[in-house]
Amino acid sequence: MNFFKVFTGLGLAILAKNFATNTFKRGYFKSKVVLITGASKGLGLVLARELLKEGASVAICARKEDELERAKRELSRYGKDVHTIVCDVTNENQVQQMILDILDYYGGLDILVNNAGIIQVAPMHAFKKQDYEKAMNVMYWGMANTTLEVIPYFREQGAGQIVNITSVGGKVSMPHLLPYDASKFAAVGFSEGSAAELRKDGIYVTTIIPGLMRTGSFVNADFQKGNKKEFNLFRILANLPLATISAEKAAHRILNAVRDKRAVKVIGIQARMLIELHHFFPNLTVKLFSLVNKQIPSSQEREIVKGSEMETQQGGHFRSMGQKEKENYQSF
């Protein structure tokens, strides 16, 4: 009898704990103010949508006002007003004004999500120094600018969270993505180092390391002019379910990591496997990628063009999509 009582009591205690944990998780973002950079499309837009569903107040920024307005109309279906700000995160003055705007509009800020990014795809000989600088300015300095701007405010209030969306390319460097890889390596280093330093101030930094996602990044990516074969290869890989993860699923896992105040979260089994392989067998991964590189098509042209231009040249596939698909395919 005593054993039965103990067993029953233990079971009830576990159920109560699980119920309390799930209740806390469901209400974690309620009434929190969240800023998401690069959120007019792609993963940033999906994150904004999910946060609104959970009761957060959301501000989004991007460089183009028309894209922000389109995103605001899309997000207005979820009940709360979304504050939009035109901001280039590579510009320190614009970032400073954006943070002041949000503090004035909402009266506070709880979570910063650094999501702004670009993708450049081409062999090493096609990139110029400006391409590397562009990638670093957006994906390293863009992250650093917003982070350094919110830290004094978070320190003053004794709490805050910073979520940095990086990439598996920031842990394993891949051919034909060198500017992207280099900037993401810098972003991962900055993010993980700041996580260790800021925790004593009540500021939690989460480094998100996603693999390839089905956000349609190939449409807005920069490709080597004339290299339609590489564009098509990238498009195929970006849409394979076994090689990618949906933006919605990625968003849910990111928000769970934020709730748990995780320091690092790798998104996608493909990304985890690649990181582990490279960690234990770095020479093997370099050899494998060198073999892959031999099979990737290339050309001698050095000019870089938008993926949307390549898509149009191949029959306007992007323009023929439905509205829902089109929004998902406007990534970053």
Stated as kind and residue range, the H or E segment containing 252 is: helix 247-259
31 to each of 49, 95, 300, how far by Cα in Å?
15, 23, 54
Neighbours of 285 (CB within 10 A): 18
Owner of token pair 């993860």:
245
Q: How many other CB atoms are found less than 10 A from the CB of residue 129?
A: 8
> Could you give phi then psi for residue 304, rounded to 5 degrees?
-110, 135
Phi, psi of 263 (to 5 degrees): -75, -40
Give 170's DSSP letter: G
Cα 329 from chain centre: 15
Nearest to residue 52, comparing CAs of 81, 25, 12? 81
Q: Which of 78, 132, 180, 329 is catalytic?
A: 180
- Cα 300 from Cα 227, distance rounded (Å): 9
Q: Rounded to 5, what percent of the chain is helix, strand, coil?
A: 60, 15, 30
Residue 50: name the closest of 324, 267, 251 by CA. Answer: 251
| Residue with tokens 């806390």, as numbered in its chain | 24
Catalytic annotation present for 180: yes
Distance CA 209, CA 133 (A): 22
What's the CA gap between 46 and 60, in Å, rounded? Answer: 11
Tell me the two tokens of residue 260: 């748990």
β strands within 143-252, DSSP E: 160-165, 203-210, 213-214, 222-224, 245-246
Residues present in the chain in total: 332
Indicate which residues carry an active-site annotation. Answer: 180
